[in-house]
Structure 1
Amino acid sequence: MDLQDFLFRARVLRLYRQALRVTARAPSSARGELRQTIRQEIENNRNCNDKQRIRYLISEGLERLKRLDEMLDMQGHR
């Protein structure tokens, strides 16, 4: 594993932890499904070696997480 792979791995793990923190604010009825979906997305791309694709997936994940966070705020789940 080279340095860039290590940095990508760290970014993915940080994104995953952030996503789990955000889901903690979700209603309990939706929390499990959200966590399962997040986990599945990570697992589906676990073996991706294309650095451009990894960058795209991290960017997309951050954007989706931001939208989820905003939606939870609008619904009053703080």
Structure 2
Amino acid sequence: MPDDIFSVDSKSGYSERNEHVDDDPDLLEICTLFFERTGEIDVDKASSVSDAIKKMASLTYECIISDYQMSGMNGIPVFTGTTFQR
């Protein structure tokens, strides 16, 4: 990990890949705009737990931000069974 957590990777233009999970489309969009405002943070959006888990199967995230109260399933299963590696 770089000393400066906001160091920009020369290939992607972003420092780290992050995932934001929320079933409220407005809140998901507003938060994503906030996180990406400097151009140094890349955020993948997921509108459901199942969508988030599918993305996690093929991508590695530095940080996952998840709503807890979502329709159908709360945010805890996003982290259940997830292996954190460093």
- Determine which structure has greater relative contact order: mean sequence separation of CA pairs < 8 Å that are 6+ residues apart, divided by chain length: 1
Larger helix proportion of the pair:
1
Q: TM-score, normalised by structure 1?
A: 0.35
Q: TM-score, normalised by structure 2?
A: 0.33
